[in-house]
Structure 1
Amino acid sequence: MSGPNTPALRPFLPADTPVLAAIFTAAIEELTGDDYSSDQQEAWAAVADDEEEFGKKLAGELTLIASLNNAPVGFASLKGKDHIDMLYVHPSAAGRGVASALCDALEKLAGGRGATSLTVDASDNAQDFFRKRGYAAKQRNSVTVNGEWLTNTTMQKTLQDGGQP
């Protein structure tokens, strides 16, 4: 049983795309300002401007949605069996265990798919979150998104016993 303060998780449905695009944009605009310039944030958030493409990306991966009080507040997606592609939480729900619940689920799913480790290209503002979960930094990356260069760090965690840390 999940209480009102415990995020409920469910699979992504195509109809969720507009809500997830809004969560994606809000998370970038409100939670990454200490680490990225406004031009970088704008370019990054613009990934969700084409909702059809954004929806295809979400549908092409194993995407989970976290809800509080039946309202979607975050989402995460597993690309292949061993890479966390996206993990975004709406600013209004930050610090309420949403990202942890999503990450726990992806780690279990990855383990269930036979992955022995999980990687993530963590944005600068997400590195502490992943570090506390046992992910170790492997390399720094610079990627170009809509004409802006963004830095992130590839981090990796070894999974044991079907995703249990």
Structure 2
Amino acid sequence: MLDWIRRFFGRSDASTSAAPAQPAPAPEASAQSAHPDSEADPFAAFMPFQIRPLQSSDLSRLISVFRDAIQISTANHYDQQQRDAWSQAQSHESLISLLSEGETVVAEWDQELVGFAQRIDDDINMIYVHPDSARVGIATLLYQHLEDGARVEGREGLTAHVSLTAHDFFQFMGFNSEGEEQADRGGVTLTRHLMRKSLASHG
């Protein structure tokens, strides 16, 4: 559907072109997340997105989003051994158990689950978007839903342990890096950033 829309509008307006190719939005905040949607697909407004709370019927589809996002979207920053260790760090059962904590939301696109995100208290723990649905603003929508929830709860700020892949996205969303740190995934080391954002009003 997305390709059809691009082709249709590409024929009707030759001056319109897709955004420059970049690595796709990806994973986890607690060790990763997405690339900025600041250069999102110009046809995003035509896409039938829905952001909603996690439902039990979603659980069987989450592990494939999790693993595909890691294996494909972070390839420019992590080698195969690192991506394997990271993507295998959660089983279907352990991911379901983890997502029972805090607030988890999912993104649907044409009735397909294409992303999910989780906040536990003041920590953005995960944001994963399937690489086939990259750069159309899904990561931004997922993040904004979690930030809105944090503000409603009166949180003064948010933290995230962010992958190298996700660094620019979180910076775009207003986070500042407090430096690099190392995460262990099954004996394999992955470099990531500790990032923070103040939610205090400056009005």
The TM-score with structure 1 as length reference comes to 0.90
% identical equivalent positions: 31
CA distance in structure 1 between the aligned counterparts of 2:46 and 2:129, rounded to whole angstroms: 17
Alignment of 1:128 with 2:168, yes or no, is: yes
The TM-score with structure 2 as length reference comes to 0.74
Comparing 26-35 with 6-15, greater Cα deviation is found at: 6-15
Match of 1:53 in 2: 94
Query: Which of residues 133, 139, 152 is equivalent to 2:179?
Result: 139
SS across alignment from 1:115: coil
Match of 1:93 in 2: 133
Are the counterparts in 2 of residues 7 and 101 from structure 1 also a CA contact under 8 Å? no
Query: Which of residues 80, 85, 93 is equivalent to 1:38?
Result: 80
Query: Which of residues 92, 101, 106 is equivalent to 2:146?
Result: 106
Q: CA shift at 1:134, angstroms?
A: 1.1
Higher-strand-fraction structure: 1
- Per-residue CA deviations over 1:54-89 (Å, capped at 9, x if unaligned) read 101011221100111121110000012x11000000
CA distance in structure 2 between the aligned counterparts of 1:58 and 1:136, rounded to whole angstroms: 26
- Per-residue CA deviations over 1:22-75 (Å, capped at 9, x if unaligned) read 001000000101110100000100023x21111010112211001111211100
Q: Which runs of 5+ in 1 are unaligned?
A: none
**Structure exhibiting the larger radius of gyration computed from Cα positions:** 2
Q: Give me the CA root mean square deviation.
A: 1.3
SS across alignment from 2:88: helix
CA distance in structure 1 between the aligned counterparts of 2:185 and 2:60, rounded to whole angstroms: 21
Matched ranges for 1:74-85 at <5 A = 74-80=115-121, 82-85=122-125
CA distance in structure 2 between the aligned counterparts of 1:112 and 1:62, rounded to whole angstroms: 13
1 or 2 for the larger relative contact order (CA 8 Å, sep ≥6)? Answer: 2
Count matched residues: 157
CA distance in structure 2 between the aligned counterparts of 1:60 and 1:78, rounded to whole angstroms: 8
CA distance in structure 2 between the aligned counterparts of 1:12 and 1:56, rounded to whole angstroms: 13
CA distance in structure 2 between the aligned counterparts of 1:19 and 1:12, rounded to whole angstroms: 11
